[in-house]
Amino acid sequence: MSGPVPDDEAGLALEREQIQRAQAGDRDALRPILGRFGPVLYSGVILPRLGNEADAEDVLKDTMMATIERIQTFRFKGRSIYYWMRQIAMNKIIDVHRRRQRGERLVAALTVEAAADPAPSERADEAVIFAEERRINRERITRTLEAINPRYAEAIRLRLVEELPRRDCATRMGVSVGTFDVLFFRSVKSFRKKFLEE
Amino acid sequence: MTEDTKDIQLRRELALLGEEPADDSELVAAERLAARMEGALHVVDAEGDEAAGLAELLAAAGLGSRGASGKGEEATLRALDSIFSKEEGDTPDVSDGADELERRRAHLLAQGVDGLIAGLATPPLTSDQEDLLHVTALIRASVHCAHLSPARLESLVESAFGAKTTSSPPVRRAWMGRVAMAAVLALLLLGSGLLVGSQLQVRTREARPGPIPTRLTSRSTRDILPGAFPRSQTAAERIDIIYHDRLRSFRELSLGGASAPAPGRQP
């Protein structure tokens, strides 16, 4: 685990001062914190675990509201408040999946992820945190793609990572569009199975 | 199995099929094909490299991996299934390839992904297909970077703060609610009290007599009843007349105001 770098120390000091003001009753002091970490939570944590932008915005708003309401309970432990907010967001994501009855295995997987410490770093810089979140997300997907058949993985890469049209995907894989559809259909089923086993 | 036994079995099979006996070159080619296919499966089994195994299989079957169409595609799918089914317990029936239902489902999912990528509405899907589409959405969101616009972020922050100001923790809200309700009730009571008071004041002011007309002031019986008593009038009747006169004056003052002369009254 890397310790805070000088820039982060300044950032943490500012963050701490803003939190103290908020805890003293000036809740508007939280605005800069929400503005800094809101986009990171949205793009790096919530959307990759919900997949739906409208749901992700709702969860982000709920996370912000919870942060404002519970700021009195936050205790500064030398790391950014981001990780506290992230935990709140993860719990709300699990709530959404439970409500939508997405399946016990997905909820269980998220619960395990939420319980684990997500941050190997104590950085307070939102760009660094975001890069770390992206790495975590890509790793989750890559790990699953590596666990399924390479041809299935290729179908998913072409269609969802490169976002090629079906015709181009089919050409790249040397099959007709209809066959590619079937191949992709099976690919996603295979991915889901492995993803939930992770 | 010895070479002789294999040879006898092959001859018997060919005879049953009505085929010509195989010559040496054909037997060599068949051996090679069998070896390549066996090798391909060995690659799959031993090294888990299905792609290499598949390439070997397709090459051995003379299909190649590109440009396959028609029956070749069916064979490709079947070949894929036969290999993938070693790992994928949930893949559809490998021996049949893709049936019509699976193709339809695959097509719907493809349309759903088209909509997802284009940001358009997705076609109606079954719950399992919805689930698969959700998986594709998760993959996309994880590998692509969807940003929240600054305006949208600002709006969310504002609404979070706005929601905060209107919703407090339950206990506090209950306490504040009771105080607010008591304050409103007190204001209502005070207001209605003031209103009633002011109305009474107005009425009192309106009812307060101005200068009382002379016709209504106290006067002697003689003033309003001049002249001698008629002989036929008894004392009781005369007292009744006086009482009636005073009662009428009282009513004029208290109920009807006293500005106009009472009807039929003599000034």
Q: In this complex, do B113 and A160 lie within 8 Å of one another by their Cβ atoms?
A: yes
For residue A14, pLDDT beyond 70: yes
- Is B66 in Cβ contact with A191 (below 8 Å)? no
In a domain, B56, yes or no: yes
Q: Which helix (H) or strand (E) holds B18?
A: none
Quick: pLDDT tens for A156-195. Answer: 999 999 999 999 999 999 888 888 998 999 999 999 888 8
- Domain membership of residue B142 (yes or no) is yes
**CA–CA dist A128, B134 (Å, integer):** 28
Q: Mean pLDDT over residues B135-143, rounded?
A: 88
Q: Residue B196 — very low, low, confident or very high, per pLDDT cuts 50/70/90?
A: confident
Q: Summarize pLDDT for B162-185 with one digit per residue, the tens.
A: 875 544 444 455 566 777 888 888
> Does residue B104 have a pLDDT over 60?
yes
Architecture of domain A9-96 in this structure: Orthogonal Bundle (1.10)
Q: What is the pLDDT of residue A187?
A: 93
Residue the block writes with tokens 């739906």: A52
**B33-52: pLDDT as tens digits:** 555 555 555 544 444 455 55
The pLDDT tens digits of the residues spanning A125-167 come to: 778 888 888 888 888 888 889 999 999 999 999 999 999 999 9
Are residue B38 and residue B79 in the same domain, yes or no? yes
**Shared domain check, B77 and B11:** yes
Flag if A52 and B114 touch (Cβ within 8 Å): no
Residue burial B64-90, b: 16+ Cβ < 10 Å; e: rest:
ebeebeeebbebbbebbbebbebbbee
**B55 and B93 assigned to the same domain:** yes
pLDDT value, residue B94: 33
- Comparing C-alpha atoms, which of A95, A188, A161, A195 is closest to residue B130? A188
- Same domain? B93 vs B112: no
- Asked if residues A130 and A43 have their Cβ atoms less than 8 Å apart, the reply is yes
Within a domain: B152: no
Provide the b/e sequence for B132-167 (b: ≥16 CB within 10 Å). bbbbbbbbbbbbbeeebeeebbeebbeebbeebeee
Does one domain contain both B94 and B33?
yes
Asked if residue B85 has pLDDT above 90, the reply is no
CB contact under 8 A, A34 and B160: yes
Chain A residues in contact with B111 by the CB 8 A cut-off are: none
Q: How far, in Å, CA of A150 to CA of A153, rounded?
A: 5
Secondary structure of residue A121 in the 3-state scheme: strand
Domain check: are B197 and B168 in the same one? yes
Residue B101 has pLDDT above 80, yes or no: yes
What is the arithmetic mean of pLDDT over A87-99?
89
Number of domains observed in the structure of chain B:
4
Best B134, B149, B155 member to test A by mutation, with max A CBs in 10 Å, is B134
User: Which residues of chain A neighbour B161 with C-beta distances below 8 Å?
Assistant: 27-28, 31, 68
User: Where exactly are the structural domains of chain A?
Assistant: 9-96, 111-197
Residue B24, classified by CB atoms within 10 Å of its CB into exposed (0-12), middle (13-18) or buried (19+), is exposed
Q: Is the pLDDT of residue B156 over 60?
A: yes
Q: How far is B179 from chain A (nearest CA, A)?
A: 22
Residue with the larger pLDDT of the pair B150 and A105: B150
Kindly report the average pLDDT of chain B as a whole number: 67
Mean pLDDT of B179-206: 80
Instruction: Looking at the complex, report in whole angstroms how far the Cα of residue A188 sits from the nearest Cα belonging to chain B.
Output: 6
Domain span including residue B172? 161-208
Query: Which of B50, B69, B136 lies at the smallest CB-CB distance from A160?
Result: B136
Both B171 and B240 in one domain: the answer is no
Q: How many interface pairs between A and B have CB atoms less than 8 angstroms apart?
A: 169
Q: What CATH fold (topology level) applies to the domain A111-197? A: Arc Repressor Mutant, subunit A (1.10.10)
Say yes or no to pLDDT of A59 above 90. yes
Do B110 and B33 fall into the same domain? no
Q: Span B84-110, mean pLDDT?
A: 63
Query: Tell me, what's the pLDDT at A88?
Result: 93
Domain shared by B82 and B42, yes or no: yes
With CA atoms as reference, report the closest residue to A31 among A76, A83, A67, A72: A67
- High-pLDDT (> 70) share of chain B, %: 44
Q: Is a pLDDT exceeding 90 seen at residue A42? A: yes
